[in-house]
Amino acid sequence: MMNLMTGIYPVGTHLASWRHPDSFPKISMQIDTFVELAQIAERGKLDMMFLADGNAVRSMDEPLMFLANPEVNRPTTFDPLMLMAVVAQYTRNIGLFCTAVTTYDEPYLLARRFGSLDHLSNGRACWNVVTGSYAIDALNFGLSKHVDRNERYERAEEFVEVCKGLWDSWDDGAFIEDKETGHFLDPSKLQRLNHEGKHFKVQGPLNVARLPQGYPVLASAGQSEPGRELAARQSDVIFSVALTKEEAQEFYADQKARIVRHGRDPDKVRILPGVTLFIGRTEAEADELLDQLNDLISPDVGVALLSKLVWSDLSGYPIDGPLPDLSAEVMGMQSYRKSIDTLAKKEGLTIRQMYKKVLPGEGHVIFKGDPVQIADQMEEWYRDKAADGFNVGLPVLPKSLNDFVDLVVPELQKRGLFRKEYPGPTLRDTLGLAVPPRGINLNGAWILSDSEKQIV
Ligand SMILES: Cc1cc2nc3c(=O)[nH]c(=O)nc-3n(C[C@H](O)[C@H](O)[C@H](O)COP(=O)(O)O)c2cc1C
């Protein structure tokens, strides 16, 4: 079965989405819009809702883009974990999937927040482990420049291990709450982490009972070498970025081989490329929607945004000439840069053609057409091992999500590609993942100290 997820950004995935007459009239800090989207997605039995995150307002030095593009710049955005805690109260089954950046956080605090979300949602938390794609974030944390990629990923891996150790603090049934004996908890079900590593020194235990899912589902999106390795070792869900099926297949094969090399079951790790859908009841209606939105992008903004996606300033190049060579690695979002470079070379596109091609998808591939055509494209990628499912981007919200749920999901269900019901209450049930066994801390230092025993 395919896995399907979508973003919970009320703004929609096209640069000009928010200006479309059918989009939410107001999107800044409107909790009702997030709740409405989550409930529509749950009606469609989607696996998860995703919220990206970062720690800075972006593009302030690029006035055109700052003015025009509300979503990418994140000038005003809820803290994802707080938002998901609210959404949890209005939904029952859908997974709550959000980013938290390891470069500027502490494992104890984050393990506690995700542990809380997993309890508050009865087992539906998913953490997108991200090392931070924007250099400017560093300025809010006492640094003058972005941390080097290898070091970010090294810290991320240790961060995740520490979190796992903290989530293992309490065993199931530790809180007996026995009114008769006066014993609130069973100390034999407690272990302390006592972690000392290169980046973190964390004693534990965590002050959150064992999570309904053991650990939240773990996800990541890195496409660089260390990003792929982290994903192969730690992730249950992997985002990918590919503008062609062949590119998606290449990533899929590479990533699944890495998962096997790390002794994990490749079928238990789901690879979900981003895909932006322009759905119409007819093909003409889908074309019209895309044209309508593209007409709302000015060329200046188009070039500026493409520059941002590829991490190179393209404004000095003729707009109707070819893209420069982008094969050199950069510190930023390697994934988009690489796939745009590949596409430019393969199809010989000009800068203008390229921004018209990739901006409507916000860097992801576009599937466009009536529900049958959309389902055909999704099925092809799924059957040809380019994807285990999709991270679906939708341009005009809530309309496009309703269209996806009412028109495309039934078509996928009819073909036996997508389930009709949630199999159980937790996200692990939905994804067919077992609850990981509680790891036992073998350092020997985890049992209560003598003085703590006396207190108990
Ligand atoms: C679908 C998707 C979602 C992402 N979400 C975030 C995010 O919320 N915050 C962030 O800083 N980076 C995000 N990224 C960027 C990745 O974490 C990663 O940095 C990027 O793909 C480049 O890979 P690399 O870090 O291995 O170079 C996302 C990437 C993709 C493809």
* Structural domains of the chain, with CATH: 3-294+360-455 (3.20.20.30)
Q: What share of the chain is helix, strand, coil (3-state, %, to 5)?
A: 45, 15, 40
Instruction: Render 184-234 in DSSP notation, one character per residue.
Output: -S-GGGB----EE-SS-EE----SSPPBTTBS-EEEE---SHHHHHHHHHH
Q: Is residue 102 lining ligand 1, measured as CB closer than 6 Å?
A: no
* CA-closest residue to ligand 1 atom 21: 222
**3-state DSSP call for residue 100?**
strand
pLDDT digits (tens, 9 = 90+) for 371-391: 999 999 999 999 999 999 999
Distance from CA of residue 262 to its chain's centroid?
Answer: 22
Q: Is residue 339 lining ligand 1, measured as CB closer than 6 Å?
A: no
C-alpha 452 to ligand 1 mean position (Å): 43
Q: Is residue 132 lining ligand 1, measured as CB closer than 6 Å?
A: yes
Q: Is residue 239 lining ligand 1, measured as CB closer than 6 Å?
A: yes
Q: Is residue 223 lining ligand 1, measured as CB closer than 6 Å?
A: yes
Q: Which atom of ligand 1 is nearest to 98's Cα? A: 8
Q: Is residue 169 lining ligand 1, measured as CB closer than 6 Å?
A: no
**Tens digit of each residue's pLDDT, the chain (456 residues):** 999 999 988 988 888 898 899 999 999 999 999 999 999 999 999 999 999 999 999 888 878 778 887 777 889 999 999 999 999 999 999 999 999 999 999 999 999 999 999 999 999 999 999 999 888 999 999 999 999 999 999 999 999 999 999 999 999 999 999 999 999 999 999 999 999 999 999 999 999 999 999 999 999 998 899 999 999 999 999 999 998 999 999 999 999 999 999 999 999 999 999 999 999 999 999 999 998 998 888 888 889 889 988 989 999 999 999 999 988 877 666 677 888 999 999 999 999 889 888 888 777 899 999 999 999 999 999 999 999 999 999 999 999 999 999 999 999 999 999 999 999 999 999 999 999 999 876 554 444 445 544 444
C-alpha 110 to ligand 1 mean position (Å): 18
Q: Which atom of ligand 1 is nearest to 274's Cα? A: 1
* CA-closest residue to ligand 1 atom 22: 333
Q: Is residue 362 lining ligand 1, measured as CB closer than 6 Å?
A: no
Alpha-carbon dihedral sign for residues 298, 299, 303, 304: negative
* CA-closest residue to ligand 1 atom 29: 221
C-alpha 362 to ligand 1 mean position (Å): 13
To test ligand 1's pocket by mutation, which of 8, 74, 133 has the most ligand atoms within 8 angstroms of CB?
Answer: 133
Q: Alpha-carbon distance 266 to 256, whole Å?
A: 6
The CB density around residue 432, as the number of other CB atoms within 10 Å, is: 13
Q: Alpha-carbon distance 386 to 388, whole Å?
A: 7
For residue 217, what are the contacts with CB-CB under 8 A and spacing of at least 6?
95, 97, 125, 126, 127, 236, 237, 427, 428, 431, 433
For residues 359 and 328, the answer to whether their CB atoms sit within 8 Å is no
Cis peptide before 398 (omega within 30 of 0): yes
- pLDDT score recorded for residue 446: 42
* CA-closest residue to ligand 1 atom 19: 133
Residue that the structure tokens 């931070």 belong to: 132
Residue that the structure tokens 């992008």 belong to: 297
Q: Which atom of ligand 1 is nearest to 99's Cα? A: 8
Q: Which atom of ligand 1 is nearest to 52's Cα? A: 8
- pLDDT score recorded for residue 122: 98
Q: Is residue 52 lining ligand 1, measured as CB closer than 6 Å?
A: yes
- pLDDT score recorded for residue 71: 72
Q: Which atom of ligand 1 is nearest to 391's Cα? A: 1
pLDDT digits (tens, 9 = 90+) for 120-163: 999 999 999 999 988 899 999 999 999 999 999 999 999 999 99
Q: Is residue 54 lining ligand 1, measured as CB closer than 6 Å?
A: yes
Q: Is residue 133 lining ligand 1, measured as CB closer than 6 Å?
A: yes
Helices then strands, counting H and E runs in the chain, come out as 17, 11
pTM above 0.85, yes or no: yes
- pLDDT score recorded for residue 9: 87
Q: Alpha-carbon distance 195 to 116, whole Å?
A: 22
Q: Is residue 333 lining ligand 1, measured as CB closer than 6 Å?
A: yes
C-alpha 222 to ligand 1 mean position (Å): 6
